[in-house]
Amino acid sequence: MPGKLKVKIVAGRHLPVMDRASDLTDAFVEVKFGNTTFKTDVYLKSLNPQWNSEWFKFEVDDEDLQDEPLQITVLDHDTYSANDAIGKVYIDIDPLLYSEAATVISGWFPIYDTIHGIRGEINVVVKVDLFNDLNRFRQSSCGVKFFCTTSIPKCYRAVIIHGFVEELVVNEDPEYQWIDRIRTPRASNEARQRLISLMSGELQRKIGLKVLEMRGNAVVGYLQCFDLEGESGLVVRAIGTACTLDKLSSPAAFLPACNSPSKEMKESPLVHPPSHGCRSTHNSPIHTATGSRLTQNFSVSVPTLIYTGMGSGSAGKEGGPFKALLRQQTQSALEQREFPFFTLTAFPPGFLVHVGGVVSARSVKLLDRIHNPDEPETRDAWWAEIRQEIKSHAKALGCHAVVGYSESTSICEEVCILSASGTAAVLNPRFLQDGTVEGCLEQRLEENLSTRCGFCHIPYDELNMPFPAHLTYCYNCRKQKVPDVLFTTIDLPTDATVIGKGCLIQARLCRLKKKAQAEANATAISNLLPFMEYEVHTQLMNKLKLKGMNALFGLRIQITVGENMLMGLASATGVYLAALPTPGGIQIAGKTPNDGSYEQHISHMQKKINDTIAKNKELYEINPPEISEEIIGSPIPEPRQRSRLLRSQSESSDEVTELDLSHGKKDAFVLEIDDTDAMEDVHSLLTDVPPPSGFYSCNTEIMPGINNWTSEIQMFTSVRVIRLSSLNLTNQALNKNFNDLCENLLKSLYFKLRSMIPCCLCHVNFTVSLPEDELIQVTVTAVAITFDKNQALQTTKTPVEKSLQRASTDNEELLQFPLELCSDSLHSHPFPPVKATSVDYSSFADRCSSWIELIKLKAQTIRRGSIKTTVTVEKASPVGDGNFRNRSAPPCANSTVGVVKMTPLSFIPGAKITKYLGIINMFFIRETTSLREEGGVSGFLHAFIAEVFAMVRAHVAALGGNAVVSYIMKQCVFMENPNKNQAQCLINVSGDAVVFVRESDLEVVSSQQPTTNCQSSCTEGEVTT
Amino acid sequence: MTSELDIFVGNTTLIDEDVYRLWLDGYSVTDAVALRVRSGILEQTGATAAVLQSDTMDHYRTFHMLERLLHAPPKLLHQLIFQIPPSRQALLIERYYAFDEAFVREVLGKKLSKGTKKDLDDISTKTGITLKSCRRQFDNFKRVFKVVEEMRGSLVDNIQQHFLLSDRLARDYAAIVFFANNRFETGKKKLQYLSFGDFAFCAELMIQNWTLGAVDSQMDDMDMDLDKEFLQDLKELKVLVADKDLLDLHKSLVCTALRGKLGVFSEMEANFKNLSRGLVNVAAKLTHNKDVRDLFVDLVEKFVEPCRSDHWPLSDVRFFLNQYSASVHSLDGFRLECGGTIWAHCNLHLPGSSNSPASAFQVAGTTSVHHHAQQFFLYFQ
């Protein structure tokens, strides 16, 4: 009996009128935890009841403390009939279970009803007394800290990074149980909310146990997802990176956020070879749980990059043998673990040695009813398979670890696509080699100072490349080889040298597919996948070149399956890495060279493309220093083996059209009227309008090239659903619709946020879903941050006049040409233009015909989460404070509502995070049977999202925090039935509750410890586990 | 491709002041978009009409959700759903409760009932204010009225406390509520030249001096209703015109004091008895509800119009009225008979009359006359 939970119900306010006669309410409260329930007295006839209850005490196991949510139900007492429920509050008490986090939860919580939304608020105080438990075989894992942040949280130091932890639990979905037919929608929704709450508690506990087993004390980059598999059940799964963290001593808390590299060093973690691997609990060998049903398993992986031995500079010379040695060491250290994966996307300097490229794997599965929830082996096996594949892809790239790793699913009926992706990387072998920290610190420091380009260098042997790539000597150190382009799923490393600014690059794609059932459906999807991957990749590559950039960070490719189509959306942040060669241009070639007007058209197009590139370079301030050719040295091996996509010798003519898009050999394309794909492709390249002047956007934590943030932030979620006209749907029309949808959405965002100019949309996260046949839903969550235009960017060496001209691309013009990325000439580039794509053929498409193999170009990535690259957060000159006069300080006298900031980033500009209070992980269902009355679908969803924000803020405030960082909306499932006037929506959000202090305040307070809103009253709540 | 759903939700609720104004003015989304296009916003921002449409819809939806809270402004401060900086909250409330002069002039003094509400479309046509906006303003009046109707304490304070309005706006609402409660007739053609500001000024003085609250500011502070006793007492003023000696004496006092100071002295002298009679009769009648309602009409008929026909300048009217009431104090008989309460009462405020905020109203030709009305009130105090 290791814990005592104490709850006090203080008061309510703004309750709804439950008694029409008196226009008042007789409210009372039920407090439930586990199987124990307490009730308050009925407070008669008031909309603002003051219960002031005694302390309700629950004596419970800490296992239950972790699993169960505290459930508070507000009811209206009725003498004659059943009491009416007003609404509920679920409180996750996990943050109270570890010592450094919150000690008490106290505040106003919105009372939430799944049918009516928020109905008033209730003031609750919750405390936990934990007793020491010395039982070694305990089932709980109290005390393990969880962070959504995908970097080492500020104010902590990583002592050891242990590695990957994962877990999943399954259950039947209450919505699909027989009982659902006879219970009310409210009861059904509540059952679901409760179940998911329970399951995520259980999941977190189990992950915690694994972490303890690995001797860690925290999980960083924790990502929990739900798969609503319908009839087959409900899966809750989570991945994360186990770490041992040390709280930085308080003096450090006062260091400015912009740590100098040397300071960062202290925070660098060591990867510690775990003596006992972190094996999944159910990691039984892959077996045939799916039985007779078909399991199409299918994966394409294409790394795009590099890897080279040492950091640049000194070590470079003794390359060969040393490299081998390193690899050996690294290998041995990492191979002990089942999966050397890291969900982190930003690392302390020196941790990441080389980046190989993106690795990804997808697999199409048919869902089957989960027969035994206690043995979720099937799902486990599926994921294990995929992870295995990722691991081998990484190995093919000469890398032993995968960073920026993430997993996702897309489900439609009984078909499910599982995806995993990450960035193959080589981690610092010194860390892997000796577990002791101190020894290598200084050395590493020296090494580090010279490795600004190290991570770009290829990790594999240039004579034995895993795929054909075009290598040159690094433009920075001139000693190591680098690839021509680099794709990654991680954030831009802090120390990377970037020229100009970055920008958001998206590839969008739709493919129709026939409606089919079961195996036929799965097969059809499997067959489409490689083409989609290939096209997405091509689009990304072309757009990257069009921007004049040479690297992608934060790449996240999402493939969504619907009844009759597949959608692919890839987002990444393009940058120009100084260490990589200047990208070549794009050349268009037509097939029928004899036609004069046609030629003219082509040259017109060509000119337009060249203009666009030039404009973009100006826009993003990309002007690399000129380097004379000799220095660069001759481009390296295998000139023949350029990374060309070889056009397939069409075994199957159908598919050929799909492939035509490629930047194949020149003249490989026939320009025919029906060659819509090619046309469309060129067209879409030129229709991407750059953001209005004063706006930048990226999907990484911070915008490369901007570092003078001011303190104004605005996090937002925007959702759009469009209905396609069902007539004559073609791939082309579909693509155009989808493209327009995304572009218009971005334009709307720019317009809405125009008052914040100059500002940057960071962490732009697009999610696509296909709720019904003809519906496409796009959800965007991002944060707009203002920056100071005038303040010079210190890191940019080439201050360029900011002449932001809107690139006025003529969208009207139809571009009818296939294009080709040409390696030779075209532009007056100072360098020999570089080959466009690196194609590689690694991989295992189990049952793919040979042509598919040719196509494996892909580099997949999924990235999520956030990282903070410590690009000096400028001392908050409280410039943009105008609109946000509410700061972290206690709420002003006349308002009881404190301001809580929310951001998908791991930091708050101009502020210092002083304390992490715990993870916020909330799941809500909202349903309505009066859709029209609530303002239609838009009104319904708008109100619901606003309510979700409100509930997140209320929980954070109750924990004593004033911000949520690494906020993410993981799921937003919206279903409507306008004919019945009904709609339902499920939303799952998570983030880290924190306390932050403005840097400007910090200086003032100086010596006294900023104990912002800690409820100091309750020291008894101290955790003693 | 049609848009089914299109929303934007910020952690801090975005409020666009221009769109808010359009919404308050009762424009439909389509009209609002057209107006915004005309304002040239597309050129400034490079946005498309579709973007503008979506943006406008979004703001309208937000305002629609906020409206429920705006009906009880303190709720807006304490709610958790919309995170809005305090300055913005104040702006939202202030703008929501703002009203159009033209509209308020139409309903001033009318009963805030369903019947009146039905007439709103006429008012809308007449004033050119959209029906929606009229309804909002009417409902605001009614809501404020209902809330403060039975409340004790200062009317202005009550309104400020329950609706968080600025001082100026709260005063205006106090006037509206006061007029609605006493049902003063303001719609007659004769009164059309008076602006809302004129009436509000009168209302403020009446609240200060004529109501129950004014008589006994400690207890039972009811600012809404006129003090019946006071009105009853006014009857006794009749002596001023009924007693011939007193009337003559009064006249001579006034004339002596004003000789040479008044441009229209001769007219004044000739008309003194008429004017005095008019004023006193109006005052004496106030015990009947109907006459209370017609107060302004009577004043204009009995006093303002004669003055106007003689072309009295504003300053002269002021002099005359000051002197008229001041002289009463010298009338021994009057002082004794009527007791000092009434006059003492009004005396407190007389000095205020001469440096009243009149200058603020001296706008057009009509103002001179409205001044007269003001002076009258002072007198009656």
Residue B286 DSSP class = G
Give the 3-state DSSP-derived string for A140-202, with helices as H, strands as E and coil as C: CCCCCEECCCCCCCCCEEEEEEEEEEEEEEEECCHHHCHHHHCCCHHHHHHHHHHHHHHHHHH
Domain match, B258 and B211 both: no
Domain match, B241 and B278 both: yes
Q: Which residues of B touch A899 (CB under 8 A)?
A: 83, 85
Lookup result for tokens 């009861």 = A187
Check whether A278 has a pLDDT greater than 90.
Answer: no
Check whether A527 has a pLDDT greater than 50.
Answer: yes
Domain match, B148 and B206 both: yes
Domain match, B232 and B210 both: no
Q: Tell me if residue A372 falls in helix, strand or coil.
A: coil
Going A476 to A478 to A479 to A484, the CA torsion angle's sign is: positive
Residue B323 pLDDT grade (very low, low, confident, very high; cuts 50, 70, 90): confident
- A145 φψ region: left (φ > 0), alpha (ψ -120 to 50), beta (else): beta
Predicted pLDDT of residue A641 = 32
Tokens of A798: 């080439």
Predicted pLDDT of residue B67 = 92
Closest CB to A885: pick one of B46, B65, B87: B87
A998 CA to chain B: closest CA distance, Å?
A: 18
- Residue A912: phi and psi, rounded to 5, are -115, 130
pTM: 0.79
Cβ–Cβ gap A722/B2 under 8 Å:
yes
> ∠ at Cα A655 (A652, A660), nearest 5°?
120
Residue A431 pLDDT grade (very low, low, confident, very high; cuts 50, 70, 90): low
At B23, which helix (H) or strand (E)?
A: helix B17-24
Cβ–Cβ gap B4/A937 under 8 Å:
yes
Predicted pLDDT of residue A462 = 65
Domain match, B238 and B211 both: no
Mean pLDDT value across chain A? 70
Tokens of A577: 């890495």
- Dump pLDDT digits (tens) for A305-361: 322 222 222 223 333 444 444 455 555 555 556 788 889 888 877 788 888 888 888
- Residue A247: phi and psi, rounded to 5, are -75, 135
Q: Using an 8 Å Cβ cutoff, are A997 and A910 in contact? A: no
Residue A727 pLDDT grade (very low, low, confident, very high; cuts 50, 70, 90): low
Q: Which residues of A touch B7 (CB under 8 A)?
A: 718-720, 938, 941-942, 945
Residue A592 pLDDT grade (very low, low, confident, very high; cuts 50, 70, 90): low
CA distances to B249, B260, B279 from B256, in Å: 11, 9, 20
Cβ–Cβ gap A721/B4 under 8 Å:
yes
Best residue of B83, B84, B163 to probe chain A, by most A CBs closer than 10 Å: B83
Tokens of A541: 């590559």
Cβ–Cβ gap A897/B81 under 8 Å:
no
The two most distant CA atoms of chain B are separated, in Å, by 91
Rounded to the nearest angstrom, the gap between the alpha carbon of residue A798 and the centroid of all alpha carbons in its chain is 32
Check whether A29 has a pLDDT greater than 90.
Answer: yes
Residue B91 pLDDT grade (very low, low, confident, very high; cuts 50, 70, 90): very high
Domain match, B195 and B254 both: no
Highest mean pLDDT among A25-34, A435-444, A730-739 belongs to A25-34
Give the 3-state DSSP-derived string for A279-320, with helices as H, strands as E and coil as C: CCCCCCCCCCCCCCCCCCECCCCCCCCCCCCCCCHHHHCCHH
Predicted pLDDT of residue A593 = 52
Residue A138 pLDDT grade (very low, low, confident, very high; cuts 50, 70, 90): low
Check whether A190 has a pLDDT greater than 50.
Answer: yes
Q: Has residue B11 been placed in a domain?
A: no
Cβ–Cβ gap B80/A723 under 8 Å:
no
Highest mean pLDDT among A99-108, A637-646, B165-174, B202-211 belongs to B165-174
Q: How many CB atoms lie within 10 A of CB A710?
A: 23
Which of A157-166, A1005-1014, B32-41, B53-62 is least confident? A1005-1014
Q: Has residue B250 been placed in a domain?
A: yes
- Dump pLDDT digits (tens) for A361-389: 888 888 876 666 666 677 888 888 889 88
Q: Has residue B359 been placed in a domain?
A: yes
Q: Using an 8 Å Cβ cutoff, are B280 and B251 in contact? A: no
**Cα within 13 Å of Cα(A236), Cβ side:** 26
Check whether A945 has a pLDDT greater than 90.
Answer: yes
Residue range(s) defining the domain that contains residue B367: 228-379
Domain match, B125 and B67 both: no
Q: Using an 8 Å Cβ cutoff, are A112 and A85 in contact? A: no
Q: Using an 8 Å Cβ cutoff, are A385 and A284 in contact? A: no
CA distances to A78, A713, A876, A923, A956 from A903, in Å: 43, 8, 17, 18, 13
Q: Has residue B27 been placed in a domain?
A: yes
Cβ–Cβ gap A886/B86 under 8 Å:
yes
Check whether A497 has a pLDDT greater than 50.
Answer: yes
- Dump pLDDT digits (tens) for A79-94: 777 888 899 999 988 8
59-88 in B: which are within 8 Å (CB) of A? 61-62, 64-65, 75, 77-83, 85-87
Best residue of A726, A747, A753, A973 to probe chain B, by most B CBs closer than 10 Å: A747
Residue A1004 pLDDT grade (very low, low, confident, very high; cuts 50, 70, 90): low
Bridge partners of residue A716, in order along the sequence: A782, B10
Between A644 and A461, where is the model more confident?
A461
Q: Using an 8 Å Cβ cutoff, are A874 and A788 in contact? A: yes
Domain match, B232 and B208 both: no
Q: Has residue B2 been placed in a domain?
A: no
- Residue A165: phi and psi, rounded to 5, are -130, 140
Q: Has residue B6 been placed in a domain?
A: no
Q: Using an 8 Å Cβ cutoff, are A741 and B54 in contact? A: no
Predicted pLDDT of residue B285 = 79
Residue A43 DSSP class = B
Bridge partners of residue A983, in order along the sequence: A928, A976
Instruction: Report the share of chain A in percent with pLDDT over 90.
Output: 17
Predicted pLDDT of residue A479 = 74
Predicted pLDDT of residue A829 = 34
Q: What is the C-alpha separation between A781 and A10, in angstroms, rounded?
A: 35
Domain match, B305 and B369 both: yes
The ipTM estimated for the assembled molecules is 0.82
Q: Tell me if residue A9 falls in helix, strand or coil.
A: strand
Highest mean pLDDT among A231-245, A603-617, B197-211 belongs to A231-245
Domain match, B42 and B164 both: no
Domain match, B70 and B170 both: no
Residue A259 pLDDT grade (very low, low, confident, very high; cuts 50, 70, 90): very low
Predicted pLDDT of residue A625 = 67
Cβ–Cβ gap A721/B6 under 8 Å:
yes
Tell me which residue of A7, A13, A15 sits closest to A34, measured CA to CA: A7
Q: What is the C-alpha separation between A406 and A408, in angstroms, rounded?
A: 7
Tell me which residue of A765, A854, A845, A837 sits closest to A357, measured CA to CA: A837
Cβ–Cβ gap B80/A715 under 8 Å:
no
Residue B109 DSSP class = T
Cβ–Cβ gap B51/A725 under 8 Å:
no
Q: Chain A: residue nearest B65 by CA?
A: A943
Instruction: Report the share of chain A in percent with pLDDT over 70.
Output: 65
Residue A704 DSSP class = T
Q: Has residue B366 been placed in a domain?
A: yes
Say if B46 is an interface residue toward chain A (CB within 8 Å). yes
Predicted pLDDT of residue A140 = 65
Task: Domain count for chain B, please give it.
Answer: 3
What is the arrangement of strands in the sheet containing A982-998, beginning at the earlier edge strand? A901-902, A963-977, A982-998, A911-928
Cβ–Cβ gap B77/A937 under 8 Å:
no
B381 CA to chain A: closest CA distance, Å?
A: 39
Q: Tell me if residue A415 falls in helix, strand or coil.
A: strand
Predicted pLDDT of residue B332 = 56
Between B202 and A939, where is the model more confident?
A939
Check whether B337 has a pLDDT greater than 90.
Answer: no
Between A792 and B35, where is the model more confident?
B35
Predicted pLDDT of residue A434 = 39
Q: Mean pLDDT throughout A1004-1009?
A: 47
Q: Mean pLDDT throughout A803-811?
A: 31
Residue A472 pLDDT grade (very low, low, confident, very high; cuts 50, 70, 90): confident
Q: Chain B: residue nearest A753 by CA?
A: B14
Q: Mean pLDDT throughout B333-353?
A: 38
Check whether B330 has a pLDDT greater than 50.
Answer: yes
Which string of DSSP letters, residue by residue, matches A939-1007?
HHHHHHHHHHHHHHHHHHHHTT-SEEEEEEEEEEEEEEEGGGTEEEEEEEEEEEEEEEEEHHHHHHHTT
Predicted pLDDT of residue A109 = 93
Q: Mean pLDDT throughout A579-605?
A: 69
Long-range Cβ contacts of A598-602 (<8 Å, 24+ apart) = A598/A671, A601/A816, A601/A817, A602/A817
Residue type, A9: I
Predicted pLDDT of residue A951 = 94
Which of A726-730, A762-766, A805-809, A969-973 is least confident? A805-809
Q: Has residue B140 been placed in a domain?
A: yes
Residue type, B214: A
Domain match, B65 and B134 both: no
Residue A667 pLDDT grade (very low, low, confident, very high; cuts 50, 70, 90): very low
Q: Chain B: residue nearest A887 by CA?
A: B85
Residue A814 pLDDT grade (very low, low, confident, very high; cuts 50, 70, 90): very low
CA distances to A85, A109, A729, A949, A954 from A922, in Å: 21, 14, 38, 11, 12
Exposed/middle/buried for residue A600 (C-beta within 10 Å: 0-12, 13-18, 19+):
exposed
Single residue among B190, B215, B240 that ends a domain in this structure = B215
